[in-house]
Amino acid sequence: MKGYFLIRPKSKSAKTIYYLYQVLIAISITLLFIVLRFTVTVFNFVSNPKLTRVNRHYDERVSILVPARNEQGAILPLLQSIIKQDYKNYEVIIYDDQSTDNTYGICEKFARTHSAVSIIKGDELPQGWLGKNYACHQLARKAKGKYLLFLDADTTICNGLINSAIHRMHINKLGLLSLFPNQQMHTFGEKVTVPLLNFLLLNTFPVRLAFLTKSPSAATACGQFMLFESESYHGHEWHRAAKDKVVEDAEIMQLVKSASYSGEVLLANGMMFCRMYRGYREALNGFSKNALAAFNYSIIGLLIYILLLFGGPMIILMTLNFNLILFTAGLIILSRIMISLASGQNALYNIILHPVQMVNMVIIAFLSIQKHLTKTNIWKGRRV
């Protein structure tokens, strides 16, 4: 019995040290994760990856190609913004992807009074293709411009955008220029979800590296604006090459760079706007459609990221160490300020709503994994 009492305290002490060691490792990993993301944010803020507005005017023909499926509430503002912009040598081709609403009727009526605009009815979706990828492929086959500009139907463009984009294509000899538009958010549900797009981009990916390095691994893109030089596009048929990819924009950027072309990704700098989703439910469905695909369908990879993103700060908070909590909160707040300013968003809103946005990120990840495992990933009436 005497020996038992001599050994037991040592066993408890060893367990205590072991648990403290584990906690220390968790805190260290969390801090490293936060500091690395903060460093990326600072790099993006300082390097200012925005499309520069230029006064020079170009006159090469641009084919503006718009895939549209059930976009009756969004596509007319896009068409009106196109005819009002300052670039004149263009054609607009809309692909009505078997819409079940009045998208075709709205576009057909608009085309009757604007000779540069035309609309085509979509075919049955072939096996092995995703809807948007097939629509873009069909649009490119009809286009006659020197440049092919793919725009989402829920975007609007402003004066200076096309000239500035073509100027960028010239000076950097690009095979692909992709822009992230300024996001418009009208409801509370959108404000607690949509800012996650720019947050994840500018907090995890050094945007300038997409152009500065030739490595295909340093590639991302935004399908809402994809500008190609037509000769290289037709030579490779990029959307055919990515026909079954959910995150086709990033995949195409990788393919472009793998083929030894230069690609660049920038923020639209107030020259293009988009209301991605209308309301909270639509935002959850839209983001969860792509979340797991962005991690190459690695459930473990997505869960680790979410654990660090959401669980890490919770671990820091539970230490009750004021200096550590203040340091962590300071990095997060500064990151949100820089990202909001770069993205043209309200920094105060994003700081206040940050915890809610992180909860929604967890929900989005859960829904994405659930849809993948149950094969119920549906978007606009089609299985993805």
Same domain, 252 and 130: yes
Task: Determine, yes or no, domain membership for 2.
Answer: no
Domain boundary among 274, 308, 343: 274
Helix (H, G, I), strand (E, B) or coil at 264: strand
What is residue 4's predicted lDDT score, i.e. its pLDDT? 42
Task: Determine, yes or no, domain membership for 82.
Answer: yes
Same domain, 267 and 309: no
Same domain, 180 and 253: yes
Residues 274, 52, 148: CA angle, nearest 5 degrees: 60
**Residue written as tokens 């707040």?**
333
Handedness of CA 182, 262, 287, 299 (dihedral sign): negative
Task: Determine, yes or no, domain membership for 102.
Answer: yes
Give the separation between CA 380 and CA 100, rounded to whole angstroms: 10
Q: Which two tokens stand for residue 113?
A: 């009074």
Domain boundary among 274, 296, 322: 274
Task: Determine, yes or no, domain membership for 222.
Answer: yes
Q: Which domain holds residue 245?
A: 62-274
What is residue 113's predicted lDDT score, i.e. its pLDDT? 95
What is residue 177's predicted lDDT score, i.e. its pLDDT? 98
Q: How many structural domains does the chain have? A: 2
Task: Determine, yes or no, domain membership for 191.
Answer: yes
CA 69 to chain CA centroid, nearest Å: 20
Same domain, 294 and 193: no
Same domain, 374 and 284: yes
Same domain, 153 and 205: yes
Residue 127, C-beta contacts closer than 8 angstroms, at least 6 positions apart: none
What is residue 302's predicted lDDT score, i.e. its pLDDT? 94
Same domain, 233 and 93: yes
pLDDT in tens, the chain (384 residues): 444 444 444 567 777 777 777 878 888 999 999 999 999 999 999 999 999 999 999 999 999 999 999 999 999 999 999 999 999 999 999 999 999 999 999 999 999 999 999 999 998 999 999 999 999 999 999 999 999 999 999 999 999 999 999 999 999 999 999 999 999 999 999 999 999 999 999 999 999 999 999 899 889 999 999 999 999 999 999 999 999 999 999 999 999 999 999 999 999 999 999 999 999 999 999 999 989 988 888 999 999 999 999 888 988 998 899 999 999 999 999 999 999 999 999 999 999 999 999 999 999 999 999 999 998 888 777 777
**Residue written as tokens 């170009």?**
58
What is residue 11's predicted lDDT score, i.e. its pLDDT? 65
Same domain, 92 and 227: yes
What's the Cα-to-Cα distance from 332 to each of 41, 49, 325, 347, rounded to whole Å? 10, 21, 11, 12
Same domain, 237 and 133: yes
Same domain, 328 and 352: yes
Same domain, 324 and 286: yes
Task: Determine, yes or no, domain membership for 118.
Answer: yes
Domain boundary among 225, 244, 274: 274
Task: Determine, yes or no, domain membership for 106.
Answer: yes
What is residue 377's predicted lDDT score, i.e. its pLDDT? 83
The CATH number given to whatever domain includes residue 254 is 3.90.550.10
What is residue 293's predicted lDDT score, i.e. its pLDDT? 87
Task: Determine, yes or no, domain membership for 71.
Answer: yes
What is residue 10's predicted lDDT score, i.e. its pLDDT? 54
What is residue 1's predicted lDDT score, i.e. its pLDDT? 41
Same domain, 113 and 213: yes
